[in-house]
Amino acid sequence: MNSVLIIVPDGGMLFESVGVTDILMQANERNACSGLAQAPYQVTIATTQMHKAVHGRSGLTLLADARLTELDPREKRGTIMVTGRGVDAEEDDAVASWLRMAAPYTQRIVSVCGGALLLAMAGVLNGRRATTHWRLLDYMAQTWPDITVERGPIYVHDGPVWTSAGVSSGFDLTLALVEADMGHAIAREVAQDMVMYLRRPGGQSQFSRYLPARAAKPGPIRDLQDWIQSNLAENLSVEKLAESLAMSPRNFNRVFLRETGTSPAKYVEHVRLDAAREYLERTREGIEQIALQTGFGSGINLRRVFERHLQVAPTTYRERFYASTMAEIDR
């Protein structure tokens, strides 16, 4: 029997834990039909509260199998999965403390979305590669510098520890666990039954939007940022931008980094990338034209930036994210 303990903090998205459980139960069914000898999954849902009712963010309630406080962390388990953070620091501290004691007795520890932060608090991620929801990546990197934070993949596997990005990426991770435990054929059948990708096409990127690093206060840097966003096709080299503010490139780099938390070159590239994504989602303009309008110069340069940041080509990105309302207008 492959035991799976899913820890569900209060106030989160319940479909994460429910969806993961459904995938594992479907794997059990396909495994039984195939006549193979792999041990089926036995799932236990544990609440972090003193009662067994897990209250979701949506207002729905899930009845857990057990309270985490009732479970012995030293019991041998196959997999422990944490599907998010709690509603307060006290709850998070309690889960992290329990995980710290349980880790030596567990074959595999997994997180979905913000659950990675609880693994980090427990010390499980020290010296490892990991990911989490894109909104939490900077916080994780700054708070736990011993963790190698991966910003692109929707899940990361490092030894006995698996971490996934936001929300539904936990389903991709769970299919990967099924493949590791029961083989490719079973995982493929589960994906087909549930109309899911066994592996998402176009690479495993979170496709998160870049949140422009806005200068903290009004002034020349913020004004320059506004100008950059309206003039992406211009020469936005560090030298030219520094010249526009009558600064040396070295001093400009230092001031820009201090006020925004990022370098001018990185800021320009991300703003251009976001603009290109907007064109791909909302227009049918050609790749070369989009590259010129957003300052990349050529389709080759645009493709290189897309593949480096999103692990997908611009044409594939458009196929997946082109606005349906725009498509209707085109017809």
Comma-separated ranges of CATH 3.40.50.880 domains in the chain: 2-193
Comma-separated ranges of CATH 1.10.10.60 domains in the chain: 220-330
SS (H, E, C) 154-219: CEEEECCEEEECCCCHHHHHHHHHHHHHHCHHHHHHHHHHCCCCCCCCCCCCCCCCCCCCCCCCCC
Q: What residues does 54 pair with on adjacent strands?
A: 62
pLDDT digits (tens, 9 = 90+) for 245-284: 999 999 999 999 999 888 999 999 999 998 998 899 888 9
Question: Where are the alpha helices (H) located in 13-145, listed in sequence order?
Answer: 14-34, 89-102, 115-121, 137-143
pLDDT of residue 310: 82
pLDDT of residue 212: 60
The mean pLDDT of 39-52, rounded to a whole number, is 92
pLDDT digits (tens, 9 = 90+) for 106-133: 999 999 999 999 999 999 999 999 999 9
Fold of 2-193: Rossmann fold (3.40.50)
The pTM (predicted TM-score) of the whole model is: 0.69
CATH class of 220-330: mainly alpha
Residue 99 has pLDDT above 60, yes or no: yes
Residue 136 Cα distances to 61, 117, 127, 147, 171, angstroms:
26, 9, 18, 13, 19
pLDDT band at 325 (very low <50, low <70, confident <90, very high): very low
